[in-house]
Structure 1
């Protein structure tokens, strides 16, 4: 690791590898309580400096991420409810909100792209390989391999013979 990268991680207060390693470690039952408390302190401090909340709660004993997501802009402004479930290999832009509505939280599949400023609320299920555009507000279920665009959601599904249909 070169000096420039170390300096960037120190000034940004977010080291992706370190953050997610410690985040997944707090759900491991074989780690001592003192180490978990130290890791939780680091996670909350990092989220606080970045203006983010990624649903870190140890009471339920399970993590809401299958794998660490791809965060091209870091943690800046991301808010995710503790009950939501997010699949592996998801890319989440800055200022994204994934929240509860009417006591239910979203479930997001694998290989999804969630654009900057997107909002996802309620007990919706978002399929695999879904692309959600910037500033979209999603309150309905999205099928697999779909694209969601505009602030008033328009779902575009690519069919087998390369024709597009709009739901």
Structure 2
């Protein structure tokens, strides 16, 4: 969770790397003016909201937070993202525009790559939502719900339904209901992990 300005900058840097956005300063600013990357814009606003929600106090900062939230909500509606603050760790990579719905009680670790038509939510009137580890790839159409926990360095195949805890790391899970298919190296499908040890 972002709890300082240093953490805020670290999250932005990790998200930028996860989205493979290169350059900085004036060149990046001009590129964003000419051909905006709306996913990067969304993620920057999300991180700024988290920073103001968690770190800034006082009436003026709270008023600014609500103004930011209003602007962020408009962009979220345009992109069909329903992603609340303080859910994803650093290194979030939203792969494409399209419907993504995430419960505010879900917790997802660092370096998550998430695709369209994903739903991460509660189930059966129980307010608890999934907790996912680090370095998780979530394929298009995956549904993850309930009071469950998933391990780290895993891939969830497209259109899978995950409704029970799977604590094993370094695996591919798939199916409806999902189960372990095989062991994998998730760095082959999450590009920004190639040069990292985790």
- Tell whether the structures are fold-level matches, with TM greater than 0.5: yes
Query: Match of 1:65, SS?
Result: coil
Of 82, 86, 90, 1:53 maps to 82
Q: CA RMSD in A?
A: 2.3
Identify unmatched segments of 5+ residues in structure 1. 57-62, 160-167
**Deviation, structure 1 residue 26:** 3.1
Higher RCO, Cα 8 Å, sep 6+: 2
Q: Is the 8 A contact 2:152 2:169 kept in 1?
A: yes
Structure 2 CA distance for aligned equivalents of residues 118 and 45 of structure 1: 25
Question: Which of 109, 114, 128 is 1:92 aligned to?
Answer: 114
Q: TM-score, normalised by structure 2?
A: 0.67
1:8-62 C-alpha deviation (Å, 9 max, x unpaired): 327x586145323323223233251121011111221111111221134xxxxxx
Equivalent-residue separation in structure 1 for 2:43 and 2:84 (angstroms): 18
Structure 1 residues 106 and 13, CA gap change in structure 2 (3 angstroms)? closer
Q: CA deviation at 1:125?
A: 0.4
Partner residue, 2:94: 71
Pick aligned residue for 2:67 from 38, 43, 50: 38
TM-score (normalizing by structure 1) = 0.79
Structure 2 alignment gaps of length 5 or more:
1-27, 185-198
**Alignment partners' CA distance in 2, 1:39 and 1:97:** 25
Aligned residues: 151
